[in-house]
Structure 1
């Protein structure tokens, strides 16, 4: 029988550096629920967290509570840290950096409307420097975990290969052009991009015959229309699954086209606030076969 891989997918944790009683109530309930997965044959082999790790990236020690939470999670289901895949979200943007950079961000957005210019944007030193400074806290956190499964890194992606599962994962930063709510809560909608070159280069770093998952914070509907069309075509051609969050609603769907099919695994928020639905998903994958989703 082929190996079944269980993937625990959580997103939008919004951990508050100052702590929150209501947040503790919800996250403690989650940690109490996780051991029950073992009895259902769903003990996670991989852990995917698709962005918005912190509530406010600029707070002092913004990621300390996240680190404490993730260490507890590792302990609960005895998973090694090299089985963790992260990507940043718009809450992981430093507003202290994004605020003064708003004119540059808006200019880069305009530039990225052109496919070829979007492909060269990641080679722009000013843009690359902005991305690093904007997500410096996130990158320091991500680099503190084991890099054993990391194959390659670029300006806005990290690729992983898990040989024992025949599974590759590409984590992309979809929030590089985010204004972090400084203009309006939905200002990022239809203005973000995943450059074609970034995805093509990232896919080239992992084995061609592996089962390929892509992880990003935003659903593809938050990319510009022309960029979304290109990204979905590439995902159907070269990927098997796109995992995201951001909307705080679980909405899985499979899309098939002439070049192939891809499952879009949008999960809800692990914590939005106490009186809203908070949750997670577990996916069962047999590489090369359709998946099963458990909410």
Structure 2
């Protein structure tokens, strides 16, 4: 059972419109800046729920493409969420008027039927309603099907159910907008929206036991017909812990008590509204399962400041709500800034000393940390102008070692055998400890731990135990679970073998459960393979890097650090390059170090091949 709380980002009613981009960018830039700060304070969300009105006019050409480029892609980067952890439901603005007109005849029979419940259910069973919904919202469906969210259990055009076992969470997305009028002839949808009961009941039956259940839809239930509202309420009774919706641009959070517990209802305001007096804001919802403790944080956009801030305009608690006193106690015990400073000091001293003791002894007599030279790293990026790169879609650009140690990005480093990927990960750990606490350096996940892929084996808490063994004694009152729950660890995993199905499943589950932390993986690459992006199918985003062989500049830095008094630096550099080329071996750190070590005692040594190089070194 998951011990940590998880966080949900709830946004709604963006109304992306191409001719409003200037004003929307003002709000969305402020939103992303504020969200970045809130994620650092409250933790990165494991799940994003977007409850409709993604765009203003679904018939506008390529408006969903613009939505992705202008907002969704940036949102996923800020939240560190992968494409598989954002969940949608459509709103009335995601209806296409062209689709409404195309389905006018087939839909008319569902208006004011004599026995609404049975008639609408029959329309669902015979396929009429799913077909109408698809026609009316085809651009929306084309867009959201790109994301392929995690945990799909069942679904159709009306209801989708997802189950995220690592989070102990089930998500139900309901399409309340399919039967709307789309504003044609200014017809109101209030109390006219039709919803079949059957697909909702079917989804409810498939929810695993003891899950925290979130139901997301665009419209408040009061916008459904009386029959549809009553059917929905009866079907979801005592099954849903959190009910999220938007549409009315008016935030109304409340906790509804019933005989079998309580339901948190979050009617959220719009993320963007072009109407001046409408509320704009968003919320972060933190949940501790199975206790079902809740901490809701609302943020409001203030027009004059053009910035988001505490939602003091909707509550006298500064936009904070706790489900009960026990929830407030739990969420108030998260690691504070003072404890983080203590951990940074521990990392800079104890953890750094521990890492040096483990990894400083190499094949040569000199400490690895004194000889280490950052190797050439490149990253694949999309080539916007393909005319310059032929038929390739990606090009390689340099990536600095400091960009790894000072960023929050998840990284995959692929390298040919003996190119030094293990040493690279170990030195990343050391460098992170060395710079920990400096004002202009570091990552939010500032405590590095080096693991081997073999540590990801079946068994109870095997990975957690491996992390514990990889670190020195922690400060008093701190546990590995605490560090994982707070997202303070950068977990470096060496030699990730994509072909090992069992261990990869364990690794993915671990990343999914503890994704607020940071992950750096190394993976081997055969000498025959070309440079392609490594896809580990992880629930968070990764940057792909390739580790190359030493350039002359890198070798010069290594020779300088070697500090051999008997041979001039430039002469020694030329000798190393010449000898390695003569035996046709790559200029890797290990090959260069072996040769330098031998030449220190025998300047005349000239290897015939690599085996003789190793044999002479061992002598």
Fold shared per TM-score above 0.5:
yes
Distance 1:45 1:67, change over 3 A: same
Deviation at 1:18, TM superposition (A): 4.1
> In 1, distance between residues paired with 2:74 and 2:86?
13
> In 1, distance between residues paired with 2:142 and 2:296?
32
Distance 1:274 1:28, change over 3 A: farther
| Alignment partner, residue 79 of structure 1 | 81
Map of 1:150-169 to 2, 5 A cutoff? Answer: 150-169=152-171
Structure 2 counterpart of 1:294, from 293, 297, 307? 297
| Alignment partner, residue 39 of structure 2 | 38
What SS is found at the alignment partner of 2:172? Answer: strand
Which is richer in helix?
Answer: 2
CA contact (8 A) 1:94 1:135 kept: yes
Structure-2-length-normalised TM-score: 0.45
Deviation at 1:127, TM superposition (A): 2.8
Deviation at 1:100, TM superposition (A): 4.3
Is 1:119 the counterpart of 2:105 in the alignment? no
Number of matched pairs = 294
Distance 1:116 1:208, change over 3 A: farther
Q: Greater shift after overlay, 206-215 or 168-177? A: 206-215
Deviation at 1:30, TM superposition (A): 0.4
> In 1, distance between residues paired with 2:121 and 2:240?
19
CA contact (8 A) 1:51 1:245 kept: yes
> In 2, distance between residues paired with 1:120 and 1:35?
47
Structure-1-length-normalised TM-score: 0.93
Deviation at 1:114, TM superposition (A): 2.0
| Alignment partner, residue 498 of structure 2 | none
> In 1, distance between residues paired with 2:75 and 2:94?
20
> In 1, distance between residues paired with 2:170 and 2:12?
20
| Alignment partner, residue 210 of structure 1 | 211
What SS is found at the alignment partner of 2:234? Answer: helix
Structure 2: gaps of 5 or more residues: 299-619
| Alignment partner, residue 252 of structure 1 | 253
Deviation at 1:79, TM superposition (A): 1.1
> In 1, distance between residues paired with 2:216 and 2:266?
9
| Alignment partner, residue 227 of structure 1 | 228
CA contact (8 A) 1:236 1:261 kept: no
> In 2, distance between residues paired with 1:93 and 1:147?
22
Deviation at 1:63, TM superposition (A): 0.2
| Alignment partner, residue 50 of structure 1 | 51
Distance 1:150 1:112, change over 3 A: farther
Deviation at 1:32, TM superposition (A): 0.8
CA contact (8 A) 2:169 2:212 kept: yes
> In 1, distance between residues paired with 2:16 and 2:106?
29
Q: Greater shift after overlay, 76-85 or 274-283? A: 274-283
Deviation at 1:274, TM superposition (A): 7.0
Map of 1:98-109 to 2, 5 A cutoff? Answer: 98-109=100-111
> In 2, distance between residues paired with 1:92 and 1:217?
11
Deviation at 1:169, TM superposition (A): 0.1
> In 2, distance between residues paired with 1:24 and 1:280?
16
CA contact (8 A) 2:243 2:264 kept: yes
Runs of 4 or more, structure 1, over 4 Å off, are none
> 1:155-206 CA distances to partner (integer Å, 9 max, x unpaired)?
3111111111000001110011101111325x21111133221211112233
What SS is found at the alignment partner of 2:110? Answer: helix
CA contact (8 A) 2:204 2:239 kept: yes
> In 1, distance between residues paired with 2:189 and 2:261?
29
> In 2, distance between residues paired with 1:42 and 1:233?
35
What SS is found at the alignment partner of 2:68? Answer: helix
Structure 1: gaps of 5 or more residues: none
| Higher CA-based Rg | 2
| Alignment partner, residue 198 of structure 1 | 199
CA contact (8 A) 2:99 2:137 kept: no
> In 2, distance between residues paired with 1:274 and 1:218?
19
What SS is found at the alignment partner of 1:195? Answer: coil
> In 2, distance between residues paired with 1:278 and 1:112?
40
